[in-house]
C-alpha cells in the first residue's frame, strides 16, 4: 500500500524541477555572472522600494498640502466671519449713536419749544390780565429844565438836548402810576452809556420817596412788597451836556422778555371799564379810581374825559 508521502504531487514535482534547473544554471554560471545577477536583482528591489518610498512621500506631501489648504480656508472663513461681525457691531454702534443723537436733538427741540411756548403763554397771560406791553404813559409835555430841553415826540419817546446849567439834577417827570405787589416789573429805555452820575431813568416810591428801580441803559427789574404809586422820571445831572439823546421809557412785566420799545397803550381791561362807566353814566374818574385801588390803572383818564365831553 502506498503512503501519503509516496503519492505523486504535481506541485512538489514542479518546484523540485524548477529548483534543479536553477541549480544547474547556477552551476554553469561563473561567480561574476552570479554576482551580477544578484546585484541586478538587488538593484531592482531597491529601485522598486525607492519608487514606493517616493510615492509614499508624494502622497504624504499631498495630504499635508490638502490639510494646510483646508486649514487656510477655515482660517480665512473665520477671519471673514470676524470681520463681518466687527462691521455689524460697528454699524450697530453707529446706528445707536445716530439714534441717541437724534433723540437728544428731538428732546432738546421739544424742551426748547415747550419753554418758548410757556414763556409766550406767561407773557400773553400777563398782558391780558394786567395790561399792555408798555405800562408807562408819558403825561408831561415838552419843557426846559435848567437849560435842558425835553421834547416829547409823537411816539412818546423823549429827545433831550442841552447842558444842565443848574446846581441840581434836571428832572423830567414821566408819570406817577400805581403798581401791584409781588409782580416783577422791568424798567428800560435809557440810552446806552448812562449812569447815575450823568443821565438815567429813575423811579421813586411817592409814599416815602425811596428809590424803586433805575435804568442806565441795560434795563432793570424790581418787585414791590406792597402796592405803591411810583413816580418815573428822567434825570440829567448838573453840568452834563447831551445832544439829541433819545429816551424810550417803558415799564413792562418781567415775563415779557422782548425789550423792543412800543408806546404806551390802554389795556383791554381799562377800555372795558371805561365803556361800562360811559354806559352807566358814572364818571370815568370814578371808574379809574376803582382801578387804581385794584392796582390795574394804566392812566388813560385824560383821553377818556375827552370822549365824555364829546358825548
pLDDT tens digits along 43-91: 676 777 777 777 777 877 777 777 777 777 766 666 666 776 777 787 7
For the sheet with 241-247, list strands across it.
143-145, 148-152, 158-163, 241-247
Please classify residue 26 by burial: count the beta carbons closer than 10 Å to its beta carbon, then call 0-12 exposed, 13-18 middle and 19+ buried. exposed
Residue-wise pLDDT tens digits, 178-230: 999 999 999 999 999 999 999 999 999 999 999 999 999 999 999 999 999 99
pLDDT at 4: 57
pLDDT at 207: 92
pLDDT at 117: 59
For residue 162, name the pLDDT band (cuts at 50, 70, 90).
Answer: very high
**Between 205 and 7, the higher pLDDT residue:** 205
Give percent of the chain above pLDDT 70. 65
Pick the CATH number of 143-253 from 2.40.50, 2.40.128, 2.30.30, 2.60.120: 2.60.120
* pLDDT exceeds cutoff 70 at 307: no
What are the residue ranges spanned by the domains of the chain?
A: 10-69, 143-253, 268-310
User: Residue 164, Cα to own-chain centre: how many angstroms?
Assistant: 52
User: Residue 221, Cα to own-chain centre: how many angstroms?
Assistant: 29
Cα dihedral across residues 49, 55, 61, 66: positive or negative = negative
Amino acid at each position: 500500500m502506498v503512503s501519503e508521502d509516496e503519492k505523486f504531487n504535481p506541485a512538489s514535482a514542479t518546484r523540485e524541477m524548477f529548483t534543479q534547473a536553477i541549480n544547474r544554471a547556477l552551476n554553469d554560471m561563473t561567480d561574476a555572472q552570479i554576482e551580477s545577477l544578484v546585484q541586478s536583482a538587488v538593484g531592482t528591489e531597491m529601485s522598486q522600494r525607492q519608487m514606493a518610498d517616493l510615492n509614499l512621500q508624494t502622497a504624504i506631501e499631498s495630504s499635508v498640502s490638502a490639510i494646510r489648504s483646508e486649514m487656510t480656508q477655515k482660517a480665512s472663513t473665520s477671519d471673514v466671519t470676524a470681520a463681518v461681525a466687527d462691521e455689524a457691531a460697528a454699524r450697530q454702534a453707529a446706528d445707536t449713536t445716530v439714534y441717541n443723537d437724534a433723540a437728544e436733538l428731538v428732546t432738546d427741540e421739544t424742551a426748547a419749544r415747550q419753554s418758548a411756548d410757556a414763556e409766550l403763554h406767561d407773557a400773553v397771560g400777563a398782558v391780558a390780565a394786567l395790561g399792555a406791553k408798555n405800562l408807562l404813559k408819558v403825561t408831561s409835555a415838552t419843557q426846559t429844565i435848567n437849560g435842558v430841553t425835553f421834547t416829547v415826540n409823537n411816539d412818546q419817546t423823549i429827545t433831550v438836548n442841552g447842558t444842565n446849567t443848574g446846581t441840581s439834577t434836571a428832572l423830567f417827570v414821566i408819570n406817577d402810576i400805581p403798581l401791584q405787589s409781588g409782580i416783577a416789573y422791568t424798567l428800560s429805555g435809557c440810552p446806552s452809556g448812562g449812569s447815575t452820575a450823568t443821565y438815567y431813568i429813575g423811579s421813586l416810591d411817592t409814599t416815602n420817596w425811596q428809590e424803586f428801580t433805575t435804568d442806565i441803559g441795560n434795563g432793570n427789574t424790581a418787585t414791590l412788597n406792597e402796592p405803591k404809586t411810583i413816580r418815573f422820571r428822567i434825570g440829567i445831572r448838573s453840568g452834563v451836556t447831551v445832544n439829541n439823546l433819545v429816551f424810550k421809557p417803558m415799564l413792562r412785566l418781567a415775563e415779557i422778555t422782548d425789550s423792543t420799545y412800543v408806546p404806551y397803550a390802554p389795556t383791554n381791561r381799562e377800555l372795558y371799564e371805561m365803556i361800562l362807566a360811559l354806559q352807566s353814566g358814572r364818571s370815568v374818574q370814578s371808574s379809574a379810581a376803582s382801578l387804581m385801588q385794584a392796582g390795574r390803572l394804566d392812566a388813560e383818564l385824560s383821553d377818556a374825559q375827552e370822549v365824555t365831553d364829546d358825548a
